[in-house]
Amino acid sequence: MKETYIELNSSTYTIKRKKRMLLDKLLKDSLQHYKSLFACDSDAIYAMDLDGYFIPLNPACEILFGYPSMEFSKLTYMKVMTLEHLDRALSLFYKSLEGKLQNFDCQIIQKIGELRDLNITNYPIVINDDIVGVYGIAKDITEIKQKRKKLRENEALYQLLMENSLDLITKSTPNGEFLYVSSYSKEIIGFTPDELIGKSVKELIHLDDLNDYENNKEIVSSGHGNGRITFRLKHCNGHYIWVEALCKPILNDQNVVSEIISVIRDVTEKKRTEALLLQSEKLSVAGQLAAGIAHEIRNPLTAIKGFLQLIEAEQDTQKTYFDIINSEMNRIELILGELLILSKPHALKFEKKNIKQIFDQVKALIDTQAIMNNIEVEITYLSNLQTLLCDENQLKQVFINILKNSIEAMHNGGKITVEVDTTESNQMQIRFIDQGCGITEENLQRIGQPFFTTKEKGTGLGLMISMKIIEKHNGTIHISSENNGTKIEVTLPLTR
Ligand code: ADP
Ligand code: MG
């Protein structure tokens, strides 16, 4: 029994030796053909004999496994594989000896102790129907693995951020259909992400805001502008909430927008505060004007009272008296009407209006205060009569705010010039030029910040509100100043 075992053993040994010789010969022959081809490959190409010993076939083996060629050919998987990959690598090696191609990821330890991730492919080497060894190709995937890991970590981080953000984060098709919705949707509009995915955001947008939404979509898709938009979204209870969305397009390989990522914030409260501020500033302007207006109304009333007494006494001159009474009454009516409009809250209403009409009414309101301060307000029209698409009352408020500031800056009286002009780019430009105390460089920076005022009884809201209103009209305000006065340029789009 023992003898046969030794015999068998020695015969296995002989077979293995024979096969190894065959393998060496084959490699020697084929290497002659393929050496230059293998040489520049960055993947390690090697063979393994039936006992699993490496036979390096290109220089990349030294670099990848980190052993000089002579040393490498004395090694097997046992030496190079990390413990946790060894079992699997060995069993796959034996499978390839059964004639099956194998591909697997594993980790090795280089001679200097460094770990590398490899992707290995094993092919059986067959000579005359006999498997004499295995070809191996090892690809270094350490960096790819690290990148994948980083990507997975980033993904987990983004997921965490998105799911815990106090903004609603969505991913949608360019057409607005939700692909992903963060769980904050439940808080903000009452719908769960599952209820929203597959639906279009357009089903939730207020009808009046759809146009703005479509325009913004164009801007986002074309890659122009920052895609910031404010609109109303329908809550599951039926009411609407104001949101501000920042939208970014994601481009595919063909540079076409494939998805849009939006960060949506509830701004209902902010909107309410803005409306309150606007209203309180209006009331304060109205209140300040009221003093002047009371004075103005007293004049016609005195006249009316006087003429009524005269009518009682003299019957003949009745006609002239009545004319004057009528015109004074009209003036009272006009001023009271303006004052009422200014102090009444109202919804934004954009209409085509003529700038001259607006200024006629502004002048009627502001003149009292101007005259009391020995100031003349002159309005000149440098181009033909112009029409604006605007909310008339809001624009009036802007002009009154600007003119009041000028009056308040002109302690010694003087002249305020208002020039209504057209710019080269065909926009309306209104220039307010005063002879007041001017604004210092330092204060100029702060103008428009809420509550910035240099006046004892100032609110510091006038210019901020004015800028907001002009912004809503797609216009701009530019302020420049020197010691001898201030120039404020309001530029607004024209309507044909
Ligand atoms: P308020 O008039 O209540 O102070 P505003 O926002 O209207 O608030 O103006 C802010 C500040 O800007 C004023 O306090 C003043 O210092 C300065 N300012 C605005 N317009 C003028 C002007 N035409 N001339 C000089 N200073 C001005
Ligand atoms: Mg002011």
Q: Are residues 330 and 375 in the same domain?
A: yes
Tell the residue nearest (CA) to atom 18 of ligand 1.
405
Cross-strand partners of 415: 376
Spacing, Cα 463 to ligand 2 middle (Å)? 6
Q: Which of 292, 238, 233 is nearest to 265 (CA)?
A: 233
Q: Which residues surround ligand 2, an ion (CB under 5 A)?
A: 405, 462
Residue 236 confidence (pLDDT): 93
Nearest to 225 by CA among 252, 211, 246: 246
Let me know if residue 156 belongs to a domain: no
372 Cα: distance to centroid of ligand 1 (angstroms): 19
How many folded domains does the chain comprise?
3
CA R_g for the chain: 43
pLDDT of residue 291: 64
Per-residue model confidence (pLDDT) at position 288: 67
Residue 7, pLDDT score? 53
Q: How far apart are CA 492 and CA 430, in angstroms?
A: 8
Q: Considering 234, 266, 298, which residue would you say is the last residue of a domain?
A: 266
Ligand nearest to the Cα of 461, by number:
1
Beta-bridge partners for 484: none
**What number of other Cβ atoms are within 10 A of residue 420's Cβ?**
20
Closest listed ligand to the CA of 438: 1
> Looking at the structure, do residues 280 and 252 belong to the same domain, yes or no?
no
Read off the pLDDT of residues 380-405 as tens digits, 9 standing for 90 and up: 999 886 889 999 988 998 999 999 99
Q: Are residues 139 and 177 in the same domain?
A: no
Residue closest via CA to ligand 1's atom 19 equals: 405
* Beta carbon of 455 within 6 Å of any ligand 1 atom: yes
The per-residue pLDDT for 2 is: 47
- The answer to whether the beta carbons of residues 360 and 337 sit under 8 Å apart is no
Ranges in the chain, pLDDT < 50: 1-4
E-state strands within 6-114: 44-48, 54-56, 102-109
The parent domain of residue 362 ranges over 271-493
**Average predicted confidence (pLDDT) for the chain:** 87
Do the domain assignments include residue 150? no
74 shares its domain with 188: no
Instruction: List the beta bridge partners of residue 381.
Output: 420
pLDDT at 162: 83
Q: What is the pTM of this model?
A: 0.50
At 70 the pLDDT is 92
